[in-house]
Structure 1
Amino acid sequence: MDIKQLKFLIALDQTRHFRKAAELCHVTQPTLSMRISKLEDELGLELVRRGHRFEGFTDSGLRILAWAKTLLAAHDGLKVEAASCRGQLVGNLRLGMVPLSSFDAMELVKPLSSQYPELAFQLSSMSSEDIIEHLGSNQLDLGLCYLDEVDPERFDIIELAVTEMGLLFDKRYFTFANGALDWQEVVSVPLGMLSRTMRFRQAIAVKLAGLGLHARTVLESDSTYQLMQAVRAGVCCAVMPRHSGMESLSDTLQLLPIGDGATHSPVGLVMRRAEPRSALAEQCFAAAQKVLSIGL
């Protein structure tokens, strides 16, 4: 067994496709299939259900996959720790982020990139619950998420601002009087929304339920980019965070504030307390404390 076999297994989980997993690992498909088969032989277990294509992992495969992710995280952490002992900060900072909040992640990434030019960033968009889970299993270094379910005994936290909401629209298709909108005006237009599992979407639902209002949702997506495309095409408007700079992406976009439009839970930068945790996470979290305290 070697680390490449574990990487192949994880790539297969990420892509759910043998050819795509091979491309991700820069090997041929026969090589990837052979190495995974060899891993199965070494463990004496069937890990992958095969037909004409990838059909999923067996129950044993899922359990081995969880260990593979833990071992790979530890392997990467070992390399980062060694670099830290040499006075370097290198490697990939794995940062999980909720898709919508008033905090622009580039306010953190840009100064860290300038301070540590050999550092690379792996950014993942996911729900707060998934961020907490991935931090706990050491699959992320840091997380930007809503704090209402974060246990301060298990995580170090830098609390950021509460997210304020606004209505994003394309001026070629929709017109509103300048100034703050109320929720009655918001629900009067077709809306694009994040998926229902996302905390930002849930915050909107709480606001509307409290007012006895119902949104006219014409499009749902787990992709912020697709929401932006729909707004630019005039398909809908979208409730988006203020101060995120989204309206600056096009001259035709405008974002107006919504009165009483703030999430109940603030967003924060989170790092797990339990060992093992990488020197990369610790140093970037310490640097973030300095960077973010200047901006707050």
Structure 2
Amino acid sequence: MDIKQLRFLVALDETRHFGQAAERCHVTQPTLSMRLRNLEDELGVELVQRGQRFEGFTAAGQRILAWARSLLAAEAGLLAEAAACRGQMIGTLRLGVVPLSGFDPMRLIASFSAAYPQLRFQLFALSSEEILERLGRNQLDLGLSYLERLDRQHFTALELAETRMGLLHDRRHFDFAGAALSWESLAELPLGLLSSEMHFRQSIDHGFRSSGLSPQPWLETDAVHQLLQAVGQGLCCSILPLHHGLGELDANLCLTPIANAQTLAPLGLIMRRSEPRSALAEACFAIAEANARPIDGLDHSIASSD
């Protein structure tokens, strides 16, 4: 077994196509197929369901695939650690971000890139639970997530800010007077919201319930771009974080603050405590600590939990 075989396996999972996986790995399709069969022979289990085309992975293949991803992540961490020992900070920082985090992740990436110009970045939109799971398995370097259920024994966190909410609407279709809106004023609007299992949506539901309201959303989706499309076409309004930058994407979009509206838990940058811990994670976490500032002059709590 060698690391290339594991790359072939992961590429096949990501492309779901033998030819595209071979192209991504810069080998011929027969070479990729032969190396995967060699891997199956060595492990003594069938990994890939084959027909005239790729049909998926076997149950054993799914389990082996998870290990392959962990080993590839460990290899990437090893190479980054070796570079750090040589005084270089290179490689790819893997950052997991909850949808509608209320903190623009590009602010973090810009500061990391300014300090270490050779860094590359991978962003993954994940739930809070998925971020913690992948951090624990070293499949992410850092996570931008809510701190409500954080296990402080296994993770350290830098609290960035509370996430305040506003109503996103297209001013060509909806017009709201006043500096701030109330939950009551939103109850009768056609609303497009994230799916109910997401933390940000749960905070929205809590806000309505606290005012004795239970509106039914006109649209529910787990994709932020679909919310923006619906709002841009005047089909609905949406409730989004005030400081995410989404309202700046279109001159016709307006994000109006909602009074007494914030998420149930603060947002933070999270890093695993235990070794092996990526040198990239430690370096970038330190930059975030040094650069942490209150947003818009508000007195947000910014603290590292060690």
Calculate the TM-score normalised by the size of structure 2: 0.90
Contact kept, 8 Å, 1:179 with 1:256, in 2: the verdict is yes
Residue in structure 1 matched with residue 75 of structure 2 by the alignment: 75
Give structure 2 stretches of 5+ with no counterpart: 296-301
Q: Rate the CA distance shift 1:20–1:166 in 2: closer, same or farther, 3 A.
A: farther
Segment of structure 1 superposing worse, 222-231 or 135-144: 222-231
Residue 169 of structure 1: SS of its match in structure 2? Answer: strand
Query: CA RMSD, aligned part only?
Result: 1.9
Calculate the TM-score normalised by the size of structure 1: 0.93
Residue in structure 2 matched with residue 287 of structure 1 by the alignment: 287
Segment of structure 1 superposing worse, 194-203 or 258-267: 194-203
Instruction: Measure, in 2, the Cα distance between the counterparts of 1:204 and 1:86.
Output: 48
Deviations 1:68-104 (CA, angstroms, capped at 9, x unpaired) = 1111111001110111011000000000001112211
Residue in structure 2 matched with residue 38 of structure 1 by the alignment: 38
Contact kept, 8 Å, 1:189 with 1:216, in 2: the verdict is no
Contact kept, 8 Å, 1:108 with 1:292, in 2: the verdict is no
Matched letter for residue 270 of structure 1: I
Residue in structure 1 matched with residue 127 of structure 2 by the alignment: 127
Matched letter for residue 266 of structure 1: P
CA shift for structure 1 position 23: 4.7
Instruction: Measure, in 2, the Cα distance between the counterparts of 1:267 and 1:87.
Output: 32
Contact kept, 8 Å, 1:95 with 1:144, in 2: the verdict is yes
Instruction: Measure, in 2, the Cα distance between the counterparts of 1:268 and 1:170.
Output: 30
Residue in structure 1 matched with residue 266 of structure 2 by the alignment: 266
Contact kept, 8 Å, 2:144 with 2:269, in 1: the verdict is yes
Give structure 1 stretches of 5+ with no counterpart: none
Percentage of matched positions with identical amino acids: 57
CA shift for structure 1 position 212: 3.3
Instruction: Measure, in 2, the Cα distance between the counterparts of 1:20 and 1:206.
Output: 45
Q: Rate the CA distance shift 1:49–1:155 in 2: closer, same or farther, 3 A.
A: same
Q: Rate the CA distance shift 1:63–1:168 in 2: closer, same or farther, 3 A.
A: same
CA shift for structure 1 position 35: 2.5
Q: Rate the CA distance shift 1:254–1:189 in 2: closer, same or farther, 3 A.
A: same
Instruction: Measure, in 2, the Cα distance between the counterparts of 1:25 and 1:247.
Output: 39
Aligned structure 1 segments of 4 or more residues deviating by more than 6 angstroms: none
Matched letter for residue 262 of structure 1: Q
Instruction: Measure, in 2, the Cα distance between the counterparts of 1:27 and 1:196.
Output: 44
Instruction: Measure, in 2, the Cα distance between the counterparts of 1:193 and 1:52.
Output: 42
Aligned residues: 296
CA shift for structure 1 position 248: 1.5
Residue in structure 2 matched with residue 141 of structure 1 by the alignment: 141
Residue in structure 2 matched with residue 184 of structure 1 by the alignment: 184
Matched letter for residue 265 of structure 2: S
Contact kept, 8 Å, 1:178 with 1:256, in 2: the verdict is no
